[in-house]
Amino acid sequence: MTRFNRQRLKHWILYFIEIFIISSFITWLLERSHPSGSFYEVIEKFFLSYGAYQLLIYSSLSILDDISKDSALMLLSLLKYCLLYKETGSEQLKALINETIDYQLSYKVMNSVNTEEILKKLKENIDSIDKVYIQTQLIMAEHDFEFYQLQWRLSILLRILK
């Protein structure tokens, strides 16, 4: 078995353990409050618990990931503007970049500490920053944007253990 297949099997096992434990716990809570009359009803409660858990996880973790995706998408666009500014030297583009950074650093917008550090560095050093630095940050922002779209991120155990 290759390393990739072992990792894939590990992910499947962790995901099913998470589903089983949480669904069983919710079923147990439901059984304590409203005991079932048959094994069929217990199984039905288990699958209803699974559905409720998946709905809760999907909605809450998707919102968290969307916040991060939004931040990464903004950074992607801004870094592309910065590269264009480095090529053209356009003062209008520089003003747009500074305006965007000011807005992103305001209290209205949620960005990670790392993103805010990058924004501050860009604002303070836009004329002296090397294009290679901007391109490197662009690659990292693209990676982050794609990372937050991965489906395994909808599992709490995989988020913690990966």
Q: What is the CA radius of gyration of the chain?
A: 23
Residues 142-147 have a mean pLDDT of 91
Kindly report, residue by residue over 21-58, the tens digit of the pLDDT: 999 999 999 999 999 889 999 999 999 999 999 999 98
122 in the same domain as 90: yes
Contact residues for 135 (Cβ-Cβ < 8 A; gap 6+): 83
Give the pLDDT of residue 86: 93
SS3 content of the chain, % helix, strand, coil (to 5): 85, 0, 15
86 in the same domain as 25: no
38 in the same domain as 82: no
Give the pLDDT of residue 33: 93
Give the pLDDT of residue 147: 87
Determine how many CB atoms are found less than 10 A away from the CB of residue 54: 14
79 in the same domain as 44: no
- The number of folded domains in the chain is 2
Percent of the chain with pLDDT over 90: 62
91 in the same domain as 36: no
Rounded distance between C-alpha atoms, residue 143 and residue 137, angstroms: 10
What would the two tokens of residue 103 be?
């807005």
- By residue range, what is the domain housing residue 141? 67-147
pTM of the predicted protein model: 0.76
Residues 110-136 have a mean pLDDT of 91
76 in the same domain as 44: no
80 in the same domain as 52: no
80 in the same domain as 59: no
Rounded distance between C-alpha atoms, residue 74 and residue 106, angstroms: 14
pLDDT of 108 above 80: no
Contact residues for 93 (Cβ-Cβ < 8 A; gap 6+): 81, 84, 85
73 in the same domain as 30: no
Angle at alpha carbon of residue 135, lines to 131 and 140, rounded to 5° = 150
pLDDT of 162 above 80: no
What pLDDT band is residue 157 in, cutting at 50, 70 and 90?
confident
